[in-house]
Every structure is written in structure tokens, then in C-alpha cells.
């Protein structure tokens, strides 16, 4: 019998690049590393962020509505602003660290 090897596709790795105003709607970003990437005003509607590295990713004005598997921890390590549209299950107030004092 011959053994059949299955090939694992590489995870997406786009670090520290400029991808403003791009459309990632419905993308499967499972395990992706887009750390440090500027995706300001990009659309991630219904995208899957399971186990994605978003450290330092700039989501200013981005649309994350309907995004799946996106966590508060991932967003705390990213850069968002008041114009970033979040999925309904993310509580924006949990993204700001508590004030020291």
C-alpha cells in the first residue's frame, strides 16, 4: 500500500504591511499572522479570526461586524478607535484596560 501524504497549507503571514481599504469579507484567517499590519478602513465582515495574531494590527475605521472567533484579548493587542465597527458579541468597554489608581 502506498502512503498518501497530506499537505498542510501554510498559514497566512502578512506582517507590518500596508493594506488599507481592502476587502477581507468572509476570509478564513485561522492562524494568520497580520501583526503590525495597517488595515485601517478595511472590511472584515464575517471573517474568521480563530487563533490569529493581531498584535499591533491597526483596525482604525475597519468593519469587523459579523467577524467570528475574534476575542477581547486579540483586540486589546491591536489598535482600534471609536470608528472601528465591532461584532455584536464584543463589549467595547472591555477593550480599555482599567485605570490605575
3-state secondary structure of 73: helix
**pLDDT 10s digits, 51-66:** 999 999 999 999 999 9
Most confident of 2-6, 12-16, 44-48: 44-48
Residue 13's contacts (CB-CB under 8 Å, 6 or more residues apart) are 32, 33
- Which pLDDT value is given to residue 97? 65
pTM value is: 0.84
Q: Any idea what the CATH number is for the domain that residue 22 is in?
A: 2.160.20.80
In a domain, 72, yes or no: yes
User: Cell digits for 24?
Assistant: 477581507
Counted domains in the chain: 1
Spatial contact of 87 and 66, defined as CB atoms under 8 Å apart: yes
Amino acid at each position: 500500500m502506498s502512503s498518501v501524504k497530506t499537505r498542510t497549507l501554510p498559514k497566512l503571514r502578512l506582517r507590518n504591511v500596508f493594506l488599507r481599504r481592502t476587502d477581507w469579507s468572509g476570509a478564513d484567517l485561522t492562524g494568520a499572522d497580520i501583526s503590525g499590519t495597517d488595515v485601517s478602513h478595511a472590511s472584515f465582515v464575517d471573517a474568521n479570526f480563530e487563533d490569529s495574531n493581531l498584535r499591533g494590527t491597526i483596525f482604525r475605521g475597519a468593519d469587523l461586524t459579523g467577524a467570528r472567533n475574534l476575542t477581547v484579548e486579540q483586540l486589546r493587542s491591536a489598535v482600534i478607535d471609536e470608528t472601528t465597527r465591532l461584532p455584536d458579541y464584543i463589549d467595547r468597554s472591555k477593550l480599555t484596560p482599567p485605570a490605575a489608581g
